């Protein structure tokens, strides 16, 4: 079961900081959630999309806009 930690937890399984999402067994999840140390996460993991880098023409346009913005501030 996936849970999101609300408090710091350290033990043989490792260190879990507040906000960490971890997979644990049902019994351990029930104990942590029941004690107020974590919240259950029902959502399946979401795959992150890879962002494409702009091509050289786009880089040139971005640099030109940045130069114009710097000149306008002066």
| pLDDT of amino acid 74 | 72
pLDDT over 80 (residue 59) = no
pLDDT of residue 19: 94
- Report in angstroms the alpha-carbon separations of 68 from 7, 55, 61, 73: 47, 20, 11, 9
Taking only the tens place, the pLDDT of each residue in 7-56 is 999 999 899 999 999 999 999 999 999 999 999 998 666 666 666 665 66
- Cβ atoms 5, 16 nearer than 8 A: yes
Q: Which domains, and CATH codes, for the chain?
A: 1-43 (3.40.5)
- Per-residue pLDDT at 17: 95
Q: Are 23 and 1 in contact (CB under 8 A)?
A: yes
SS3 for 44-62 is CCCCCCCCCCCCHHHHHHH
Entry pTM: 0.56
């Amino acid at each position: 079961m996936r849970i999101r930690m609300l408090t710091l937890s350290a033990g043989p399984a490792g260190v879990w900081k507040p906000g960490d999402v971890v997979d644990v067994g049902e019994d351990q999840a029930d104990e942590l959630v029941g004690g107020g140390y974590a919240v259950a996460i029902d959502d399946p993991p979401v795959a992150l999309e890879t962002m494409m880098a702009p091509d050289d023409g786009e880089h040139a346009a971005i640099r030109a806009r940045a130069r114009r913005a710097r000149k306008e501030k002066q």
